[in-house]
Homo-oligomer: A and B are copies of this chain.
Amino acid sequence: MREFRRSLPMSLLKAREAVMKNFIPHLREQDLSPQQWRVLRALFEAVESGEGEIEMKVLAERCYLLLPSLSRIVQNLEKRKLISRRTSQSDQRCSMISLTASGVDLVNLMSPQSEARYEHITRVFGYGKLELLYELLDELTNKLAEADQKEPQETARIETPAAAGNAGKAK
């Protein structure tokens, strides 16, 4: 079997943690989790672009969070007056979320450190490599999404009788 160290999910996880490691303490000083920060940043962009309010479903997509997680996060941030919500008039199922003035201030307070972290990473790793890494990650994500959509049972199908051949290992 392939070596345990050669685990792509683990390599991605380690890289991710290395990247976030020295920024997280700054978030904690403001009692923010990385996920809460993602929500605030997404809402901040909505302010800047003039979009203003965002519904839960869209916010979840932009922050790459599942709705149940976002639901709890929004409740928490609303209690802290960092965001506000109202029910959409056109569709009363929808909550429209937006950043409060306090929320805007907090994002503005944290942004310099966020940018500094990126500058640090760019300096240490190299601009070209960072761009290359982004490209590879996007391509991997997109190609797998495509392939898994076409062949959702890919890994299972290989073990199927019809696929025969079977690399002589399964049995």
Contacts and interface: CB of A to CB of B under 8 A. Distances in A.
A113 B156 contact: yes
A1 interface: yes
A75 interface: no
Interface residues of A, number: 73
A61 to B, nearest CB: 12
A167 interface: yes
A44 B20 CA distance: 31
A170 B29 CA distance: 10
Interface of A: 1-4, 6-16, 18-23, 25-26, 34, 38, 41-42, 44-45, 62, 64, 105, 108-109, 111-121, 124-125, 129-130, 132-134, 136-141, 143-145, 147-148, 152, 154-156, 158-159, 165, 167, 169-170
